[in-house]
């Protein structure tokens, strides 16, 4: 949010979380961005989220730390307009259960010499959407998962806002009626 705060051409319209204690909700409050806390029923058994997206005029959806599979109704409505960031170089170390420190443990246990981030479009499967961007970092022989997490997080902070910005600039402009 802070990357886009000084911009007048980009508007963060809504923050959605399934965790009522998520830190991003407090950050949204500081930036005066509306929030929505959902449960599985609202996401999977109704059009509630899609209706809210329509209500708020959502054009593009950015996932960060959202671990639930995005339902088909949202994937279809936002084809190539939902992106996610993954803390590894997909297609390796992706899929259900591969998030956070689980990924870094797996990378180190496999003896990988590099890891990184993958920014990808979201489809109906975990971490299988088309890759938009990857950035790499070295895995040192003595790295612990926590060390690798720090390197990956630095890549996320460096690249994710810039890639989001690039993708937003590629969206077709809607004519807005006042």
Residues recognised as catalytic: 86
Q: Are the C-beta atoms of residues 64 and 3 closer than 8 Å to each other?
A: no
The C-alpha angle 44, 125, 127, rounded to 5 degrees, equals 120
Cα distances from 91 to residues 83, 87, 104, in angstroms, run 15, 11, 14
SS3 state of residue 29: helix
CA 131 vs CA 99, 120, 123: distances in Å: 17, 4, 11
Kindly report the three-state secondary structure assignment for every residue of 106-126: HHHHCCCCEEEEEEEECCCCC
> Which residue has tokens 């612990």?
144
């Amino acid at each position: 949010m802070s990357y886009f705060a000084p911009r007048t051409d980009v508007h963060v319209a809504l923050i959605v979380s399934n965790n009522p204690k998520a830190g991003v909700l407090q950050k949204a409050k500081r930036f005066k961005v509306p929030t929505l806390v959902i449960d599985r029923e609202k996401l999977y058994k109704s059009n509630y989220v899609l209706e809210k997206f329509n209500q708020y005029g959502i054009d593009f959806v950015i996932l960060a730390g959202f671990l639930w599979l995005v339902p088909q109704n949202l994937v279809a409505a936002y084809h190539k307009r939902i992106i996610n960031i993954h803390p590894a170089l997909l297609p390796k170390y992706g899929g259900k259960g591969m998030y956070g420190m689980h990924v870094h443990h797996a990378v180190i246990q496999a003896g990988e010499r590099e890891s990184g981030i993958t920014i990808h479009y979201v489809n109906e499967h975990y971490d299988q959407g088309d890759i938009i961007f990857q950035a790499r970092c070295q895995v040192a022989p003595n790295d612990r998962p926590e060390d690798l997490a720090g390197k990956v997080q630095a890549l996320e902070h460096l690249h994710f806002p810039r890639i989001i910005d690039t993708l937003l600039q590629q969206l077709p402009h809607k004519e807005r009626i006042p």
